[in-house]
Amino acid sequence: MCGIAGFYNFQTDSLEQTSILRRMLTRIKHRGPDQSGIYLSDNIGLGSVRLSIVDLSSGTMPISNSDETLWIVFNGEIFNHIELREELLTKNHSFKTHSDTEVIVHLYEEYGSEFVHKLNGQFSIAIWDKNKQELFLARDRVGIRPLYYSEVNETLVFASEIKSMLEFPGFEPKLSPKAISEYFTFWTALSPGTVFEGVYEVPPGSYMVIDKHSKKLTTYWQLPLYKPNEYKYTNIDDAAKDFETIFSDAVKLRLRADVQVAAYLSGGLDSSVTTSFIKNISPENLQTFSIGFTEKDYDESSYQNIAADYFKTQHSSVMCSPSDIADNFKSVVWHSEAPLLRTAPAPMSLLAKSVRDQNIKVVITGEGADELLGGYNIFKETKIRRFWSKDPTSKYRPLLLKKLYPYLPQMHNANNNVLKMFFGYKLSETSSPIYSHLLRWNNTSRINNYLTKEYRDAIGDYNPINSIEQKLGHKLNGLDSLAKAQWIELNIFMSGYLLSSQGDRMGMANSIEGRYPFLDHRVIEFCMSLHPDLKLNGLNEKYLLKRLMKGKLPDEILNRPKQAYRAPIRSSFTSDSLPIYLKEMLSETDIKQAGIFNPDYVGQLLTKMKTKNQVSEIDNMALTAILSTQILNDLFINKSIQELNDDELVNLDKTILDY
């Protein structure tokens, strides 16, 4: 795993180019603390910091093809690089290293931009073609690894993380009010946008070609969608057999490394499944890691211990308190580079740190299973709301909703009227392509009420929900309700938030690479071809997975009720021992100075959080959103970050000046 950065069409001398690129790499050296290198030629600069996992001795980037007409920097892993190397050898390609990076540059030489279809992996790629004078940027199918770009005075600047661009002269980021309204609705900005104006991501499943005349974006992969009469699998036994074959190979590929591979073991079904497959493929001792909470409402330690005992893994657990979340929250926002509505990334950072403290670089995790196999409560909620909408006056149908959210205080004694008020929003609008998310997004969007009049005026009549509903109407037309909801979760929530703020960023902040067998593109394509009843059978989530694993997991794990991964908010941010920096960010003075939030409304929220017995989930999310946005503004707009000094700059293990 690595971090990459660079620029195209930057007219200055090589000494200044080297200095700037070195500083850009230093900002993301957490992504690759082992080695670093740069390539400079005329107006192109490529740089990489490397976390060495495959070919530890000779895989330092940048790497070229044989005649040095193509140069590459690369962030990620190509899990099928061994097979691809063998294919290229039959076509008379020769190799200097055993790294997957060199395989990519030869694939590009052989097949051009279409080589991306051959990759099984998680990646962000930058290739400079000297002959064509073109820069090629590409990103993996579902956006596991990040890649951003911006134009600064006619120079295209790109990097794995936006903070790298802060070291490029003339880059002056500005928060986008419209993007903030999207974050306060969807938990993320809509791709290719980011929270910063003029900064974009290369969208998942896309590549971009840039030359002196243009930049062209091409989508090479999209989530496959099947209409009700097109499903390939309707029989549970056939589906389970084929899934086991595909998933087993996905896990096997992700065990490839020249360093030790460990696993997260959360105590839930998904991580237990991945651990089970790992143990079947590689029975030797496996190290597993988990996070527990001092507040029992969030803690899953008992299930983690059951799983660890069952698999007989060498297990380590770290406990997280509300004060741990508060103490680390500034760093979490710095690495997330986005507003956050949950504190959940903070414990994930602590978990990754515990892995790194044991000198492990790679962990396999269960991300993607909920999205692909109907695991989230929102899928059940949609099913119940559709059932309820057929008889809106029913006293009994809405009671089914009480079982979904036992952790919400307002659900404990909710009667029919309370449930109707809470879940009845646009109940009858079942024809909407975003019906599954109308309620969630409407509730979350109330956070926008805390914005100042100036920010709300800047947003104007832009309504993120209406906008996305119009865009998705044609795309999702004719699909069953679960497929529609899955498309939204996979393309918006998973890529924009889960794999970013909770996944890549928290892992790489601690120089840890996460690997996700459920997100192998073959597994994704298989799961989307399943009849919905094989995923969500009645209200039984992940039906296929449970059927496959019956007798292979402890019953306590297999049959436990779904528990969403959550972390404390109120107790983290209302304590008298709150770090001074966080207190300042929430003070009336700093709120006014930033000009993003209405100080009166923020004050009322803080009073409520400190004095009321019960606060809502929206209150919790609003407090997190306000605090994280204030920190983001301070770090990236006010640039309160510490200046880099010469002693901190990365050492360049490889420097190619090709003028």
Residue type present at position 161: E
Residue of 331, 364, 335, 340 lying closest to 567 (CA atoms): 340
Do the beta carbons of residue 53 and residue 362 sit within 8 Å? yes
Are the C-beta atoms of residues 36 and 653 closer than 8 Å to each other?
yes
Sign for the CA dihedral angle at 417, 420, 422, 425 comes to negative
Greatest extent of the chain over all pairs of C-alpha atoms, in Å: 77
**In this structure, are residues 246 and 529 in contact, taking their beta carbons and an 8 Å threshold?**
no
DSSP state of 295: S
For the record, the structure tokens of 270 come out as 């998904």
Task: List the one residue out of 591, 621, 615 whose CA is nearest residue 603.
Answer: 591
Kindly give, in sequence order, each residue whose CB lies less than 8 Å from that of residue 44, ignoring residues fewer than 6 positions away. Answer: 6, 7, 8, 128, 135
**Which residues share a beta bridge with 288?**
263, 315
Tell me if residue 387 falls in helix, strand or coil: helix
Question: What sign for the dihedral angle of Cα 55, 60, 66, 72?
Answer: positive
* Six-digit token string for 636: 């990236």
Give φ, ψ of 492 to 5 degrees: -110, -65
Q: How far is CA 159 from the centre of its chain?
A: 16
Bridge partners (DSSP) of residue 484 are none
d(C-alpha 530, C-alpha 373), whole Å: 9
Say which of 1, 2, 165, 338 is annotated catalytic. 2
* Alpha-carbon gap, residue 478 to 484, rounded angstroms: 9
- Which three-class secondary structure state does DSSP give residue 371? helix
List, in sequence order, every beta strand (DSSP E) within 487-622.
Answer: 513-515
In eight-state DSSP terms, residue 526 is H
Kindly tell me the sign of the dihedral angle through the C-alpha atoms of 24, 28, 31, 32.
Answer: positive
**Where do runs of H (alpha helix) occur along 424-480?**
435-444, 453-459, 464-475
CA angle 531, 546, 488 (to 5 degrees): 50
**Torsion region of 469: left, alpha or beta (phi above 0 gives left; psi -120 to 50 gives alpha):** alpha
2 is catalytic: yes
CB 157 within 8 A of CB 166: no
Q: Contact 187/213 with Cβ under 8 angstroms? A: no
Contact yes or no for 339/628 (Cβ under 8 A): yes
- What are phi and psi for residue 635, nearest 5 degrees? -75, -45
Transcribe 367-388 into DSSP letters: TTHHHHTT-SHHHHHHHHHHHH
Tell me the catalytic residues.
2
